[in-house]
Amino acid sequence: MKLNIVPARTGLLWVKLGIRTFFRQPIALSGLFLMFMTAVSLCAVIPMLGSVVALVLIPGATLGMMAASHEAARGRFPMPTILVTAFRAGRQQLRAMLLLGGLYAAGFVALLGLTALIDGGEFAKLYLIGGRISPELLDNDSFLSAMWVFSLGYLPLSLLFWHAPALVHWDRVPPVKSLFFSLVACWRNKGAFTLFGIAWMGVLTGGLLLASLLGSLLGPTLGSGLLMGAMLMLLAMFFASLVFTFRDCFSMASPLPSETAEHEDGQP
């Protein structure tokens, strides 16, 4: 395995490729992302245990979205079964992906536990059991502090698992090692990932703002539907870009040949 160090501008290229890939198969990728979110939400309906199961499935489901984007990038229609790609690669790979999911769930729950030390468990209860953020909670300084701690703590957790599902599935890297390689790849390419994050924040904010403005002209019912549809599409675009971050950060025997040079030269 060889780690690639890419220029910072590559982060913008990843965003561009994700958006372009989405528009090659917009219905398929939007539908798959909706299925992904629906499956996670259905698991989370079961109090406590359901939320943990949903967390365990997230790395595998993310790999499914990456595989779908890989298909769409090559002009092929990704079928719904591609979402469970990570769980159909044999018993050994299934165990590895479930272990990775277990590690993700453990890290997530540990982070929630840390917030419980700050606000007495209000923020963690909101996630694990469900409910709404009331005005009283927003006026609670301890709750707000816990929310900020969770937001800041989730960044290193996400970097640990950013490339891990792809490394485990496509290159048979053991789950614990995949976390180390993922974190190192993100750190060594921090310039590209910083631009990637800033660009996506701009795209998401701009897209939702535009949808909100258009929705205000259509009335509350149609406007709400437009906003939800825009959010679905924008998040599907984001997930479509993840496979390119993996492909360009590693040189290995995977089914993802690099095309960055071709795209930079303007070739299809």
How do the domains of the chain map onto residue ranges? Answer: 2-252
Query: Of all residues in the chain, what percent are helix, strand and coil, respectively (each to 5)?
Result: 80, 0, 20
DSSP class per residue in 139-174: T-HHHHHHHHHHHHHHHHHHHHTTSHHHHHHHH---
At 144 the pLDDT is: 86
pTM score of the predicted model: 0.85
Contact 262, 20 (CB under 8 A): no
Contact 165, 63 (CB under 8 A): yes
Written as six digits, the tokens of 132 are 């709404």
pLDDT band at residue 265 using 50, 70 and 90 as cut-offs:
very low
Q: 3-class DSSP state for residue 268?
A: coil
Written as six digits, the tokens of 5 are 């160090």
Give 251's strand partners.
Answer: 2
At 41 the pLDDT is: 81
Q: What are phi and psi of 258, to 5 degrees?
A: -70, 135
Res. 263: pLDDT tops 60: no
Mean residue pLDDT across the chain? 86
Res. 192: pLDDT tops 80: yes
Where is 79: in which H helix or E strand? none
Written as six digits, the tokens of 125 are 């209860």
Contact 183, 161 (CB under 8 A): no
Closest CA relative to residue 66, chosen from 267, 254, 262, 263: 254
Distance CA 37, CA 195 (A): 26
C-alpha distance from residue 52 to each of 41, 65, 117, 122, 142 (Å): 11, 20, 20, 17, 24
At 223 the pLDDT is: 80
Contact 65, 39 (CB under 8 A): no
Contact 56, 77 (CB under 8 A): no
Which tens digit of pLDDT belongs to each residue from 12-36?
A: 999 999 999 999 999 999 999 999 8
At 264 the pLDDT is: 39
Closest CA relative to residue 100, chosen from 136, 56, 139: 56
